[in-house]
Amino acid sequence: MEWTDGEFTVTCDPEKQDLDVIHGFLRQAYWSRGIAREIVARSLRNSLCFALLHRDKQVGFARVISDLATIAYLGDVFVLPEYRGRGLSKWLMQCVTQHPDLQGLRRWILATSDAHGLYRQFGFTALAKPEIFMERHVPNIYIRDALGRFIE
């Protein structure tokens, strides 16, 4: 799938994903600080990915983990700082939510600390029944000490 708006393109073509850009952003993001390049590469291979390009340069990204039938987890959404304020995150989300393989799903989920306003525009809300959800969360799993041990 591919969408174009002027000089910008959103594509699901794995050949157009720039692992250097994606890893460079994610290793510093609050939700994946310290993530290894190999883990990012594996996550891309096992997800439906959306690369936001300015001409041929990657400037944003989103990733969906889904069975393509009942549920989807939206993660790793970003637009590089120098491209923010142009409505690109909203357009990227439009492309994600309009993808034909992601229609008719019973549930979409995501986690965010700072972009609630963006996601509300696409029907995301706080959990209606938080008491039925559970998680197994290891927040600093990618951060290691000088000896390579995980820091809790």
Judge whether 149 lies within some domain.
Answer: no
Judge whether 103 lies within some domain.
Answer: yes
Q: Which domain holds residue 13?
A: 2-125
Query: Cα-flanking dihedrals φ and ψ of residue 118, to 5°?
Result: -60, -50
pLDDT over 90 (residue 144): no
Q: What is the pLDDT of residue 137?
A: 77
User: Can you tell me the mean pLDDT for 119-133?
Assistant: 90
DSSP assignments along 46-73, one per residue: TSEEEEEEETTEEEEEEEEEE-SSSEEE
Q: How many whole angstroms separate alpha carbon 30 and alpha carbon 82?
A: 18
Instruction: List the CATH number of the domain containing 36.
Output: 3.40.630.30
Judge whether 145 lies within some domain.
Answer: no
Q: How many whole angstroms separate alpha carbon 9 and alpha carbon 11?
A: 6
Q: How many whole angstroms separate alpha carbon 142 and alpha carbon 96?
A: 27
| Domain count across the chain | 1
Judge whether 138 lies within some domain.
Answer: no
Contact 8, 53 (CB under 8 A): yes
pTM for the model stands at: 0.86
Judge whether 137 lies within some domain.
Answer: no
Q: How many whole angstroms separate alpha carbon 49 and alpha carbon 91?
A: 15
Judge whether 14 lies within some domain.
Answer: yes
For 16-64, write each residue's pLDDT tens digit.
999 999 999 999 898 888 888 988 999 999 999 999 999 999 999 999 9
Judge whether 132 lies within some domain.
Answer: no
